[in-house]
């Protein structure tokens, strides 16, 4: 009996699982009352709850595996304006991004190769959440 309560607590605390449940059951209402009713119905049925949680974890595992298999983004094909927008949003402390249009810094001034190298290394060393956000922006 404790496992059902533990799963219910996990569902209540996990926002991604909330959105997954809404997607699975096709609920598009933004009304809090309707959403609460759906979650209550799902939480009361142990077999349904187990199936939804299991499917959610399987989908998350396949998504992680797909991200690991996917090749990194090829920044060299992106235009300079896109690179600078990404850089200023996520890696604004890098000199190649800050001084790209500064004539007083001849090494960084309009140096696209340095800009690409800077963004790609910063992308590789960034957290997975930042990487995911960048991939979503470029998609």
d(CA 37, CA 32): 9
In this structure, the answer to whether residues 48 and 63 fall within a common structural domain is yes
In this structure, the answer to whether residues 35 and 88 fall within a common structural domain is no
In this structure, the answer to whether residues 89 and 105 fall within a common structural domain is yes
Domain boundary among 15, 48, 69: 69
The number of beta carbons lying within 10 Å of the beta carbon of residue 82 is 14
* 138 CB-contact burial (10 Å; exposed 0-12 / middle 13-18 / buried 19+): exposed
- Give the range of the structural domain holding residue 18, as residue numbers without chain letter: 2-69
Instruction: Report angle CA 99, 101, 103 to the nearest 5 degrees.
Output: 85
pLDDT digits (tens, 9 = 90+) for 22-66: 778 887 888 888 888 887 887 788 777 778 888 887 877 776 555
Query: Are 52 and 24 a contacting pair, CB within 8 Å?
Result: yes
Q: How confident is the model at residue 4 (pLDDT cuts 50, 70, 90)?
A: low
In this structure, the answer to whether residues 62 and 79 fall within a common structural domain is no
- 67: pLDDT strictly greater than 60: no
**How many domains, the chain?**
2
d(CA 24, CA 112): 45
pLDDT digits (tens, 9 = 90+) for 75-120: 888 889 989 998 999 888 888 899 999 999 889 898 999 999 999 8
* Predicted local confidence at residue 71, as pLDDT: 45
* Predicted local confidence at residue 92, as pLDDT: 85
- 123: pLDDT strictly greater than 60: yes
Short-list 10, 34, 4, 7, CA closest to 22: 34
In this structure, the answer to whether residues 56 and 83 fall within a common structural domain is no
């Amino acid at each position: 009996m404790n496992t059902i309560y533990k799963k219910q607590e996990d569902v209540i605390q996990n926002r991604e699982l909330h959105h997954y449940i809404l997607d699975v059951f096709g609920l598009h209402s933004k009304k809090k009352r309707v959403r609460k009713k759906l979650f209550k119905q799902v939480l009361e049925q142990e077999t349904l709850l187990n199936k939804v949680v299991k499917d959610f974890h399987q989908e998350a595992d396949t998504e992680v595996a797909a991200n690991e298999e996917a090749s990194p983004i090829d920044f060299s094909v992106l235009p300079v304006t896109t690179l600078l927008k990404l850089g200023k949003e996520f890696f604004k402390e890098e000199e190649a991004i800050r001084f790209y249009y500064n004539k007083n810094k001849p090494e960084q001034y309009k140096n696209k190769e340095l800009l690409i190298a800077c963004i790609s290394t910063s992308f590789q060393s960034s957290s997975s959440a930042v990487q995911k956000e960048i991939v979503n922006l470029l998609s």
